[in-house]
């Protein structure tokens, strides 16, 4: 599966639409989970909604478009603001734990989306069923959701995986990891652009095993199309 190659118009539409749906639900789940834990910051900003406009971020959207047409890009939705101090309302005294729960809700939503489409699709195609042009959308919808789940679980700020890692590690690690928030974007971009001779990018080697594992669980031998 090569994200960065020239594509037919129907494939471009399928990828972009998949990004929009997957990212909208991803950000919605961050906002909804924070609200359920006692923080209404995102709710007051209208972020607990499945309206893509509420989660639109122009630079991130341009990245989605670039990927959709076959160029290099990184796409994202508008970050959901969270005030972990409000989690105490629901009895979560450990603010880092609360942030970890909010963070992991996004990738989990992407896995669920992939499974909801992928498992019935696997059964149907295994029985010789074809959905015509919808096959293109279904396949890319599964791929994009698994990609977002695996990529976002990389433990580098500002990705969700960094907050999950901070939540589960012993307290003495926090002062060591906290300064990475300042340099997270820089570290992430370095990993994205480093391409060792004879292999893919470093970042691809990091999220690739998770992506392959999730795809194998949901689609079995069908994964890879």
Catalytic site residues? 27
| 18 and 145 Cβ atoms separated by less than 8 Å | yes
DSSP 53: G
**DSSP letter assigned to residue 133:** T
Both tokens of residue 164? 């999950």
- Which residue has tokens 């970890």? 100
CA dist 86 and 98 (Å) reads 10
Phi, psi values for residue 99, rounded to 5° = -65, -35
CA 85 → CA 40, 105, 170, distances in Å? Answer: 11, 19, 20
Q: Counting every residue, how long is the chain?
A: 225
**Burial 124-143, CB ≥16 within 10 A → b, else e:** ebeeeeeeeeebbbbbbbbb
């Amino acid at each position: 599966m090569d994200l960065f190659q020239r594509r037919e118009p129907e494939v471009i539409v399928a990828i972009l639409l998949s990004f929009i749906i997957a990212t909208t639900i991803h950000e919605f789940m961050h906002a909804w989970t924070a609200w359920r834990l006692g923080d209404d910051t995102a709710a007051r900003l209208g972020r607990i909604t499945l309206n893509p406009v509420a989660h639109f971020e122009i630079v991130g959207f341009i990245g989605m478009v670039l990927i959709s047409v076959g160029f290099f890009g990184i796409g994202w939705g508008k970050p959901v603001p969270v005030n972990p101090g409000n989690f105490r309302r629901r009895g979560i005294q450990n603010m880092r734990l609360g942030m970890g729960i909010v963070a992991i809700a996004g990738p989990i939503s992407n896995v669920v989306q992939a499974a909801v489409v992928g498992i019935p699709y696997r059964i149907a195609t295994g029985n010789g069923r074809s959905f015509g042009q919808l096959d293109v959308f279904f396949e890319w919808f599964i791929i994009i959701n698994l990609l977002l789940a695996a990529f976002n679980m990389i433990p580098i700020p500002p990705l969700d995986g960094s907050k999950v890692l901070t939540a589960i590690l012993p307290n003495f690690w926090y002062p060591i990891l906290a300064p990475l928030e300042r340099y997270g974007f820089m570290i992430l971009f370095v990993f994205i652009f480093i391409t060792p001779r004879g292999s893919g990018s470093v970042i691809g080697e990091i999220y690739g095993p998770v992506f392959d594992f999730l795809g194998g669980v949901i689609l079995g031998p069908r994964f890879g199309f």
